[in-house]
Amino acid sequence: MGIILLPPTFAEQEQAQPGKALFLQYCQDCHGPQRDGRGALRPFLEQDPANLTSQMTQTKTDQELFSIIKKGRGEMHGWADTFTDEQVLDLVRYIRALSP
Ligand code: HEC
């Protein structure tokens, strides 16, 4: 898996939908519905949730995002016990496909 920085095709947008449902349920409280890091829990964390639409995140490889989500980072615990690998991939696709 490499870096994908091309604008998403319609098919990719559609593929991203399973990830969207998971994101809205598990991730938006911190990362926000727009994925810009402005979730409702932001004020209660010592560390700002990452803006997932940012260069910082979007220039990471799919593999890097996959392993960060699985292992966690900073105040975000790992999600390896919550999701299957396929679900983590769905989340990576969602972070990718709907990015500006
Ligand atoms: C408790 C709040 C919280 C929740 C819930 C949460 N995150 Fe995070 N997330 C964070 C914080 C805080 C960071 C930033 C850590 C840092 O700066 O090193 C982060 C970082 C990340 C990063 C790394 C971004 C980068 O460029 O380094 C990714 C990817 C990510 N989160 C995805 C997710 C996904 C997908 C979910 C849902 C399964 C999720 N997060 C749920 C708080 C959260």
pLDDT tens, residue by residue, 33-50: 999 999 999 999 999 999
Show the domain range for 92: 10-97
91 within domain boundaries: yes
What is the residue-averaged pLDDT of the chain?
A: 89
CATH number at residue 31: 1.10.760.10
Q: Is residue 5 a part of any domain in this protein?
A: no
Q: Is there a domain that residue 32 lies in?
A: yes
pLDDT of residue 100: 47
Note whether residue 42 is domain-resident.
yes
Q: For tokens 């209660």, what's the residue? A: 44
Distances from the Cα of 30 to the Cα of 74, 77, 82, angstroms: 13, 12, 17
Distance from the alpha carbon of residue 58 to the mean position of ligand 1, in angstroms: 13
Element (H, E) at 77: strand 76-77
Quick check: CB of 31 below 6 Å from ligand 1? yes
**d(Cα 59, Cα 55) in Å, to the nearest integer?**
6
Cα separation of 95 and 62, whole Å?
A: 10
Question: What separation in Å is there between the alpha carbon of 9 and the centre of ligand 1?
Answer: 25
- pLDDT above 70 covers a percentage of the chain that reads 81
In eight-state DSSP terms, residue 17 is H
Q: Is residue 26 within 8 Å of residue 19, measured between CB atoms?
A: no
Q: Total domain count for the chain? A: 1
